Amino acid sequence: MPATVLVLVETINDYLPILEHQGFHLILAPTPAERAAAIARHGGQIDAVLTRGPLGLYAEEIDALPALKIICVIGAGYEHVDLQAAADRHITVTNGAGVNASSVADHAMALLLSLVRDIPRCDAAVRRGEWPKIMRPSLAGKRLGILGLGAVGMAIAKRANAGFDMSVCYHNRQHRSDLPYTFCSTPTELARASDFLIVATPGGLGTKHLINRQVLDALGPKGFIVNIARASVIVTADLVTALEQRRIAGAALDVFDNEPQVPDALKSLNNVILTPHVAGLSPEATQGTVELVGKNLVAFFSGQPVLTPIELPLPAAIQQVH
């Protein structure tokens, strides 16, 4: 009997035949109402769930899925998947780390270029029949700071260094002695050493509010920040205040605290560029991500190790013993 997969992701329909051709039965539930209805109606038959970090899978939903054996997360982030609840049920969790790195890095550089060169404002002015001569900084020779040097951070560093002649420094959980980039021991030190700062670290409790007023002040009034990671890494109120007071020069954001709601304070600022969490979306990345999900599912249901497992906490029962 084929395994049944509950698909909560709304952007991959064109690539779902990849999973169907592998023999999986899919239940599509991309809206909150459809999700609740599918879990209520088919909860006893669902073997796997396909989700994204911001969509997650919560403890009460896991409890309502007694047949659930594996959760596959599209993309690297899994911040709203209840890992403890999964561990308590011995449910395997996988992610798509690295598959969409090129797409996210491209978007990060596109945002940086648009922000530093003020492309949206220039475009709007020309459409109004104006012809302003706006003087903006060049990227060549500037210092780029990258918070998080995983697959995405590495792809950004390569583009910036080799393509735009920028020097690269970074802050990471671990110093990478195998790379030619400069390590900074704290986010504040990184911001102080940067003209431009790109946030490329995972979300979650370990990175929550790493970027606060102190870091933004270290970046300074000529500094620009780009976030293609998770909104939780930045204290949004501190960012808004810094932008309003011109304590930093500008920000470009692809991620927000309560998507799809975006604070009006951000929308009203002319030194901000906003995109709707699309950095990881490209045909190439989406196809690769769904193919990886398929490989993980096939491996799991064949009794083989999955390709990209997420490390889970100890089950609560074991924690209590210790």
Query: Is 257 found in the same domain as 133?
Result: yes
Q: Which residue, of 251, 274, 297, is where some domain finishes? A: 274
Same domain, 157 and 182: yes
Q: Please give the angle made by the CA atoms of 259, 262 and 264, to the nearest 5 degrees.
A: 165
Domain containing 38: what range?
Answer: 4-99+283-321
pLDDT at res. 322: 58
pLDDT tens digits along 193-216: 999 999 999 888 899 999 999 999
Query: Are residue 267 and residue 292 in the same domain, yes or no?
Result: no
Q: Are residues 248 and 228 in the same domain?
A: yes
Residues 138 and 234 in one domain: yes
Average pLDDT of the chain is 96
Q: Taking residues 139-166, what's their average pLDDT? A: 97
What pLDDT, on a 0 to 100 scale, did the predictor assign at position 321?
A: 60
Return d(Cα 122, Cα 154) in angstroms, integer. 31
Report whether pLDDT(318) > 80. Answer: no
Query: Is residue 34 flagged as an active site residue?
Result: no
Q: How many domains does the chain have?
A: 2
The catalytic position among 61, 230, 244, 291 is: 230
Domain check: are 66 and 125 in the same one?
Answer: no
Percentage with pLDDT > 90 across the chain = 92
Q: Which of 277, 207, 214 is nearest to 248 (CA)?
A: 214
Do 65 and 148 lie in one domain? The reply is no
pLDDT score recorded for residue 197: 99
CATH number of the domain that 207 lies in? 3.40.50.720
Please tell me which residue in 10, 20, 259, 284 is annotated as part of the active site. 259
Domain end position, chosen among 253, 274, 295: 274
pLDDT, position 227: 98
220 pLDDT higher than 90? yes
- Among this protein's residues, is 244 annotated catalytic? no
With contact defined as beta carbons under 8 Å apart, do 234 and 255 qualify? no
Of the candidates 42, 277, 311, 322, the residue annotated as catalytic is 277
Say yes or no: 109 and 92 in one domain.
no
* pLDDT tens figures, 72-103: 999 888 989 999 999 999 999 999 988 999 99
Lowest-pLDDT range, 49-53, 141-145, 169-173, 316-320?
A: 316-320
Q: Are residues 61 and 177 in the same domain?
A: no
Residue 1 has pLDDT above 70, yes or no: no
In degrees, rounded to 5, the angle at the alpha carbon of residue 233 between the alpha carbons of residues 85 and 109 is: 120
User: Annotated catalytic, 143?
Assistant: no
